[in-house]
Chains A and B, each alone.
Chain A
Amino acid sequence: KNEVEQSPQNLTAQEGEFITINCSYSVGISALHWLQQHPGGGIVSLFMLSSGKKKHGRLIATINIQEKHSSLHITASHPRDSAVYICAVIPSKEGGSEKLVFGKGTKLTVNP
């Protein structure tokens, strides 16, 4: 079983729709990342969070530490949001290393 599970694996939406991508993890963490990978392959860090909520433009990321769950929301989606969104966690450093553990990603396609 993967330590980080994302859902859905694939998501198709119409322009303007509100989108939610979910991430669940099974280990204690010190932080969680949301990454975006565009069709060209480049990877960009969107958010790093360890509690609560963060907002950047039309993107909102939330995390519930007790439930071991995070969501990435996109409001008023646009075709340029089409990408793979990857959730990654840093397990709590109790003698462990500081390395990211990745989910398999959610492929989002927004149609005009």
Chain B
Amino acid sequence: DAGVIQSPRHEVTEMGQEVTLRCKPISGHDYLFWYRQTMMRGLELLIYFNNNVPIDDSGMPEDRFSAKMPNASFSTLKIQPSEPRDSAVYFCASSFLVPYEQFFGPGTRLTVL
């Protein structure tokens, strides 16, 4: 199994631009999580899905952030418009049945200038 796949691995953009991060979970996993990691705040959960349905999006910072999971094998996290304070590493993780043993993707390092 290829594990959780994220793309792009690095993204540099200018303030105001739209950014789309992509995630392919491990096949057969029914939970998908989006996390953000910064030096100041550490790892934070943004949103998670169960069977493609968003369960808890209370960690999404504001309306500029949105996430979708159109099918079991693909999810996107979109930031529009992006701001410098969104610069962070964004991780996607997936798990099977219960949201305990999570498998993390390699992360996307986002820099907003």
**Chain A contact residues, CB within 8 Å of chain B:** 31, 33, 41-45, 48, 86, 88, 90, 97-100, 102-105
In the complex, the answer to whether A102 meets B42 with C-beta atoms within 8 Å is yes
**Sample of 13 more A-B contacts, CB < 8 Å, known A45-B101, A88-B43:** A33-B100, A41-B109, A42-B104, A42-B107, A43-B91, A43-B104, A45-B102, A45-B104, A48-B101, A97-B56, A98-B48, A99-B45, A100-B99
A98: chain B residues within 8 A (beta carbon): 48, 55, 98-99
Closest chain-B Cβ to A75's Cβ sits at a distance in Å of: 23
> Can you list 11 contacts pairing A with B, beta carbon distance less than 8 Å?
A41-B89, A41-B109, A42-B107, A43-B104, A43-B107, A45-B102, A45-B104, A98-B48, A98-B99, A102-B42, A103-B42
In the complex, the answer to whether A90 meets B106 with C-beta atoms within 8 Å is no
Contact with A along B44-81 (1 / 0, CB 8 A): 11001000000110110000000000000000000000
Residue B103 interfacial (CB < 8 Å): yes
**Chain B contact residues, CB within 8 Å of chain A:** 33, 42-45, 48, 55-56, 58-59, 89, 91, 93, 98-104, 106-107, 109
A44: chain B residues within 8 A (beta carbon): 104
Minimal Cβ-Cβ distance residue in A for B99:
A98
In the complex, the answer to whether A86 meets B43 with C-beta atoms within 8 Å is yes
The 6 closest A-B pairs by CB, nearest first: A43-B104, A97-B56, A102-B43, A98-B99, A104-B42, A99-B45
